[in-house]
């Protein structure tokens, strides 16, 4: 049986999504998210995390590019979002709004290392075992997410280097407008800013987990603290590999067109 579309086709993608989100919010808060806090499939579209690059580069005084995203650039933003979103926000009924950048993490937001502990203390006040388990889960989840993100980052950085090298050749060969050149450099800057944002976020997350674990040891000593410490050590080790001075995927410096 044919049914009419719930949302008018003449509306833009974001307009249709906003209408769907508003309708879902009116019906029930939990309707915005699917299982395990994931965004419901009907509210997902390819460039839902494009704002990550836009906000990242604006945070360092740059301008977003008007070029469409490549597949790898899109995945960089998708993977990156999972590492900049506060872990305690993932299961909130309205966390879908943060996915679209309407509210949520910002690259220059002040870092509060106590925020994770405060949320943990409220959520698991009745059970120290649950608190320790949550720290272990969040630290391990971040450790698992690091390698896929930086695998994509390596591809993006390589492509950006080739883009930068091609600018001179294309300018000599077929001509290059200032708009094209600026958009190319802006996209490289965006990608660099995303990687830098993720590294800052990872270091802050590790510091937050460490702060929470130390508070748990004071408030409710438990043998479970050893597992928390091992999980944090793994996370900190991987952060050191990918975001340390000799990082595996060095982000190229931000550039401007001279």
> pLDDT digit string (tens) for 118-133?
999 887 778 899 999 9
With respect to residue 3, please indicate whether it lies within any of the assigned structural domains.
no
Rounded (to 5) percent helix, strand, coil in the chain = 65, 0, 30
Q: Say yes or no to pLDDT of 90 above 50.
A: yes
With respect to residue 54, please indicate whether it lies within any of the assigned structural domains.
yes
Question: pLDDT at position 250, please?
Answer: 74
Q: Using an 8 Å Cβ cutoff, are 21 and 97 in contact?
A: yes
Q: Say yes or no to pLDDT of 190 above 50.
A: yes
Residue 39: beta bridge partners? 33
Instruction: Determine the average pLDDT of the residues in 176-182.
Output: 92
Give the whole-angstrom CA distance, residue 78 versus residue 81.
5
Cα–Cα separations (whole angstroms), residue 146 to 6, 69, 134, 220, 234: 38, 21, 18, 30, 11
Cα–Cα separations (whole angstroms), residue 234 to 3, 204, 208, 228: 52, 15, 15, 10
Q: Please state the domain count of the chain.
A: 1
The string of pLDDT tens digits covering residues 37-78 is 444 444 445 578 899 999 999 999 999 999 999 999 999 999
With respect to residue 60, please indicate whether it lies within any of the assigned structural domains.
yes
Q: Using an 8 Å Cβ cutoff, are 228 and 136 in contact?
A: yes
With respect to residue 110, please indicate whether it lies within any of the assigned structural domains.
yes
Q: Using an 8 Å Cβ cutoff, are 153 and 76 in contact?
A: yes
With respect to residue 168, please indicate whether it lies within any of the assigned structural domains.
yes
Give the whole-angstrom CA distance, residue 12 versus residue 25.
20
With respect to residue 224, please indicate whether it lies within any of the assigned structural domains.
yes
Q: Say yes or no to pLDDT of 24 above 80.
A: no
What's CA 172's distance to the chain center, in Å?
A: 38
CA dihedral 20, 21, 23, 28 (to 10 degrees): 140
Quick one: DSSP state of residue 251? P
With respect to residue 78, please indicate whether it lies within any of the assigned structural domains.
yes
Q: Using an 8 Å Cβ cutoff, are 160 and 40 in contact?
A: no
With respect to residue 258, please indicate whether it lies within any of the assigned structural domains.
no
Please tell me the pTM assigned to this model: 0.79
Confidence of residue 108 (pLDDT cuts 50, 70, 90): confident
Average per-residue pLDDT for the chain: 81
- Domain span at residue 224? 49-243
SS (H, E, C) 180-208: HHHHHHHHHHHHHHHHHHHHHHHHHHHHH
3-state secondary structure of 39: strand
């Amino acid at each position: 049986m044919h049914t009419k579309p719930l949302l008018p086709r003449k509306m833009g993608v974001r307009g249709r999504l906003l209408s769907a989100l508003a309708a879902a919010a009116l019906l029930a808060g939990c309707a915005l998210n699917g299982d395990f806090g994931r965004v419901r499939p009907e509210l997902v579209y390819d460039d839902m995390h494009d704002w990550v690059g836009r906000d990242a580069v604006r945070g360092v005084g740059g301008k977003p590019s008007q070029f469409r995203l490549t597949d790898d650039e899109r995945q960089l933003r998708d993977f990156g979002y999972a590492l900049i979103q506060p872990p305690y926000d993932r299961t909130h009924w309205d966390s879908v709004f943060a996915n679209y950048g309407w509210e949520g993490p910002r690259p220059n937001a002040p870092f509060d290392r106590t925020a994770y502990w405060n949320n943990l203390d409220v959520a698991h006040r009745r059970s120290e075992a649950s608190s320790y388990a949550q720290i272990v889960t969040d630290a391990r989840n971040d450790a698992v997410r690091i390698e896929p993100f930086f695998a994509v980052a390596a591809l993006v950085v390589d492509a950006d280097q080739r883009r930068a090298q091609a600018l001179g050749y294309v300018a000599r060969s077929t001509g290059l407008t200032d708009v094209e050149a600026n958009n190319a450099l802006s996209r490289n800057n965006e990608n660099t800013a995303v990687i830098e944002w993720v590294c800052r976020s990872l270091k802050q997350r590790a510091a937050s987990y460490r702060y929470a674990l130390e508070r748990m040891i004071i408030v409710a000593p438990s043998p479970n603290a050893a597992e928390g410490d091992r999980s944090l050590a793994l996370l900190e080790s991987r952060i050191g590999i990918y975001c340390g001075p000799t990082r595996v995927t060095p982000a190229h410096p931000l550039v401007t067109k001279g």
